[in-house]
Amino acid sequence: LKEYYRRYPTAGYGGRFQQWAASDVKQPYGSFGNGSAMRVSPVGWYFNDLSTVLSEARHSAAVTHDHPEGIKGAQATAAAIFLARIGENKADIRDFIAERFGYCFNFTLDVIRPHYQFDVTCQGSVPQALQAFFEANDFEDAIRNAISIGGDSDTIACITGGIAEAFYGEVPARIAEQVWSRLDDPLAKVVRRFYLALAKG
């Protein structure tokens, strides 16, 4: 993480993460911010059983976000991606996440949209990101839902997008092309290597 920070120091990090990444400190800093959920998507894609996904999501988060809520947000996101990619339906994914992690989904985006506030905590943005996916009809609709509620919308859309890609099977080509065009060569190579590793199983 610190290496990527040094390569891309102006990429728009959260304040506490930036302080940690720029320092010599190696210990985590107890965050329950949504960065743990935003970066965990590869875990949900790479591992092939739920127990391992949850364990590796914990490890992914705990490097920086070792607060229980930070770990929970990462695990819930990775679990949703795993369940989506193995073919579970939305109702079953929602029920699992609610029962396992205690997230409540007794709201709709239309209800929260007028008053939703900027919230970088996992508990204040991961359920909303999941709901954006649950209410969507396709990948683009999921992203539009996530952005529409405002708040920390880029992170929320990142979380939603990882789940939606797993559920719908791909990122639509015209959207993927726009993303590829914005990646520099080193980052593009990382993504290509990851997709290749997935293809090889």
CATH of the domain at 127: 1.10.4080.10
The answer to whether 64 and 31 have CB atoms below 8 angstroms apart is yes
Same domain, 135 and 197: no
**In-domain check, residue 71:** yes
Share of residues in the chain with pLDDT > 70 (%)? 100
Same domain, 129 and 199: no
| Closest alpha carbon to 39 in 20, 17, 19 | 17
Q: pLDDT band for position 14 (50/70/90)?
A: confident
Q: Which two tokens stand for residue 173?
A: 């080509």
Same domain, 96 and 188: no
Same domain, 125 and 40: yes
Q: Which spans in 63-108 are helix H?
A: 68-85, 90-101
Structural domain of 77: 32-105+116-170
Separation of alpha carbons 32 and 123, rounded Å? 8
Share of residues in the chain with pLDDT > 90 (%)? 97
User: Is pLDDT of 48 > 90?
Assistant: yes
The answer to whether 166 and 84 have CB atoms below 8 angstroms apart is yes
Same domain, 75 and 129: yes
Q: How many domains does the chain have?
A: 2
Same domain, 124 and 187: no
Same domain, 150 and 176: no
Same domain, 149 and 55: yes
| Section 32-42 average pLDDT | 98
Same domain, 145 and 199: no
Q: Where do we find the tokens 């364990």?
A: 55
Same domain, 161 and 177: no
Q: pLDDT band for position 201 (50/70/90)?
A: confident
User: Is pLDDT of 42 > 90?
Assistant: yes
Q: Torsions phi, psi of 121, nearest 5?
A: -80, 155
Same domain, 182 and 124: no
